[in-house]
Structure 1
Amino acid sequence: MAGVRGTSTASPDLCPALLYEDAKAAVDQLTGAFGFVTGALYEAEDGTVLHAELVRGNGMVMVGSKGRGGVFDEAMAGCGPAAVYVVVEDTDAHFERAQEHGVEILCPPADKEYGSRDYMARDVGGNVWTFGTYAPEGPEVTA
């Protein structure tokens, strides 16, 4: 198993995990079109993506290949696409980048009644991604 490890300053507490028929194409799309950075990439000798960690800001999504077997793969069998929201500073610039990479756009950038500017796209695995300026505040944490 080959691995490439990136650097990170903080570990997120929540990491969506998505499985793809072609995880290599998904990693390429998520990094190229959506601006994620590869934090880690582990591949089998045949190039199958065993596990990837793609970072954006202080968040991360974990990506893997379908059909490898194991408890997680079996638990995810038959699951449909997921939806993920990602905060971006400039929705229109992000949208342009996605369009340049041929991403399927479901909804172009639009101003929302709650003050955000969002657009929606579908990735190579059928997952729906919304990118926008709305940044929810986390819960108040007490020590």
Structure 2
Amino acid sequence: MSTPRVVPFLRYQDAPAAIEWLGKVFGFQPALTVPGPKGGIGHAQLRLGDAVIMLASVRSGEPYLRSALDLPAVSQGVFVVVEDLQSHYERASARGAEIVMEIETTPEGIRIYQAFDLEGQLWAFGDGFVVSE
């Protein structure tokens, strides 16, 4: 696998629970987990196919990085391409993801759905991605 050039990083109030939930519901596998100096998670990397995300526990010294639970709304999300969108959707739906957009086909012909995770981060999963030139 090549090194990704863009890797989303997220903060969670309960990062250990987020790692477990993201694995159980969305299928992410922990690749690296480093404990924080005061408990929680200092740094974690999770993989789903070729996708990589990073996450950590909320830190009091970083007021600019918050859990979605601390905010009135989120202004971004994470988009992940998956091999079998229908199966991924069914797994996420059956295991507790809050589906906020059912599977739809975009004007570019990509099928996607969107869901919130356990702390309100927005995730979109699709069966492809078109790069505009």
| TM-score above 0.5 | yes
Distance, in Å, in 2 between the alignment partners of 1:28 and 1:68 is 23
Equivalence map 1:28-43=2 (5 Å) = 28-43=20-35
Asked if the contact 2:45–2:52 (Cα under 8 Å) also holds between the matched residues in 1, the reply is yes
Which residue of the partner structure matches residue 75 of structure 1?
Answer: 64
Which residue of the partner structure matches residue 3 of structure 1?
Answer: none
Q: 1:67 to 1:45 in 2, by over 3 A?
A: closer
Equivalence map 1:1-143=2 (5 Å) = 9-44=1-36, 48-69=40-61, 73-77=62-66, 81=74, 82-137=76-131
Q: Deviations over 1:3-45 (max 9, x none)?
A: xxxxxx4321111110011111211121111111111011248
Aligned Cα RMSD in Å?
2.3
Asked if the contact 2:9–2:53 (Cα under 8 Å) also holds between the matched residues in 1, the reply is yes
In structure 2, what residue type is equivalent to 1:75? Y
3-state DSSP of counterpart to 1:89: coil
**When the two structures are superposed, what TM-score results if normalisation uses the length of structure 2?**
0.82
| Consecutive unaligned residues in structure 2, runs of 5 or more | none
In structure 1, what residue type is equivalent to 2:100? L
Distance, in Å, in 2 between the alignment partners of 1:105 and 1:58 is 23
**When the two structures are superposed, what TM-score results if normalisation uses the length of structure 1?**
0.77
In structure 2, what residue type is equivalent to 1:110? E
Larger radius of gyration: 1
Q: 1:57 to 1:136 in 2, by over 3 A?
A: farther
Task: Figure out how many residues of one structure are paired with residues of the other and give that number.
Answer: 128
Deviation at 1:98, TM superposition (A): 0.3
| Consecutive unaligned residues in structure 1, runs of 5 or more | 1-8
Asked if the contact 2:117–2:123 (Cα under 8 Å) also holds between the matched residues in 1, the reply is yes
